[in-house]
Amino acid sequence: MKTRKHENMKIPVMFGVFMSLCFHRKHWNLLKRKDKSMRHICNRAQKCNVRHKLKKSCSFAPFPSCPFSPLPPSPLALILVIVTFITLGCQQEMSDSRYTAVTTQGRYLLSVWRARTSKEAINRGQKLLSAIPMNADVPHQSLSRESGRGVSSAASIEKLKLADILPKNDEVKGWSIAKKIETYVGQDLFRFMLFRSEAEIYHAYHFVELASAEYRNPKLHKEPLLRVDLYDMGSPENAFGIYSTNRHTQSDFEIIGNETAVTMLTLDTWKGQYFLHIRAYEFADDISEAMRNITKYVMNRIRGTTKPPAILSFLPHDRQFVRYSEKFFRNHTAFNNIHFIADENIFKLSESTTGLIAEYLHQKPQSQTDTMFVFLIQYPTPNDAAVAYSSYRAYLLQQEYLLVKAKKFGTQSIIVKTKGLRG
């Protein structure tokens, strides 16, 4: 990928090549004559060329006297052209190159992707390692073997049917349900989602049930103007996980019962084991206000935690940290949706692992999207982390990436030079 710096260099470099090709030493001597203007020189050359056709002898050479007339390039100009293209090619090579660093420490596997230099990759990795407390243990939600989903403490506090959480007619002033509330359980979600792959992502976070309803306001329009989707994800970790994959760093963020990502037509938030998604069918101030009022109503009805998974607390929130970029995952399907590496489960992910991916700006970013990625995975035992490290190391070497010699950090580490965006 070409960087902005590389693009800006083309203009002065190519201008220098143009000047070298167009001007010879005798041209510069002509240009130095203070009593001759550029236009006068060109005009005289053209007149002389006409006389040259009529008379073979002329004291002023034809067309070559014009500074912009074509001339065979000098050897120096040819050398400059060759060096320029070699330089541009090398800069293209450097701009496409990225560094990936991988290391382990205890039960944790850590990797940095898309660093500009090996030093930057090591520094970012060391900062994350130092932020992990010794003997750190992230609590793991108990999993039901039958259902494969977390057992939430919020569910034991208050048993509510999912459809009963959504507002009924005029419970949010002026808004009523256009049709009956529809519910989808388990595999029924594939009938609701437009794309099968989207439903698979929700199932990767152990989707349980969905309650969906369209709302209308007769004063604004007789047709439905927005849709409210409330998902039961089985546990707070799963609810945050699906929320983190849906939000974008460019969204506006508000606090409506919890952190809420707002765009022109959507609103996403979570609380307890529930993930709330609202989509407007058109943009208007009244509709935006209704989206927020419905969110307040639903969030007041839900009892549950608003704290994200504990592993997120390990991330250093320095000046380079991209806020709201954290994404939580457990299994291979959820991980590949965030950052695809390979179809094979290289990191040996399962429901007993806990992981996150976050973005950090480069040391001298050219834009807010000029970032590198950091991921951290917690395994049940140090041996599991070592097995995953060996698997990923073998994958990197199989890609024939350039192995970089650098000082070891963590228990064991490897740094490779890659190309493109894939780590």
Query: What is residue 139's predicted lDDT score, i.e. its pLDDT?
Result: 52
Residues of the chain with pLDDT under 50: 1-13, 15, 17, 21-28, 30-32, 34-36, 38, 41-42, 48-71, 87-95, 140-157, 421
Query: What is residue 29's predicted lDDT score, i.e. its pLDDT?
Result: 52
Sign of the dihedral through C-alpha 183, 187, 188, 190: positive
Contact assessment for residue 113 and residue 351, using Cβ atoms and an 8 Å cutoff: no
Query: What is residue 46's predicted lDDT score, i.e. its pLDDT?
Result: 53
Contact assessment for residue 299 and residue 257, using Cβ atoms and an 8 Å cutoff: yes
Query: What is residue 369's predicted lDDT score, i.e. its pLDDT?
Result: 82
Domain spans of the chain, in order of start: 4-94, 98-138+309-419, 153-301
Q: How far apart are CA 415 and CA 112, in angstroms?
A: 9
Q: How far apart are CA 390 and CA 102, in angstroms?
A: 10
Q: Which residue has the tokens 């992981």?
A: 355
Contact assessment for residue 320 and residue 361, using Cβ atoms and an 8 Å cutoff: yes
Query: What is residue 373's predicted lDDT score, i.e. its pLDDT?
Result: 95
Query: What is residue 366's predicted lDDT score, i.e. its pLDDT?
Result: 81
The 10 Å Cβ neighbour count of residue 180 is 9
The length of the chain is 423
> What CATH number does the domain located at 153-301 have?
3.40.1000
Runs of H (alpha helix) within 220-271: 236-246
The per-residue pLDDT for range 123-133, each reduced to its tens digit, is 999 999 999 88
Query: What is residue 257's predicted lDDT score, i.e. its pLDDT?
Result: 94
pTM of the model: 0.74
Per-residue exposure over 5-25, b if at least 16 CB sit within 10 Å of its own CB, e if not: eeeeeeeebeeebeebbbbbe
Query: What is residue 23's predicted lDDT score, i.e. its pLDDT?
Result: 45
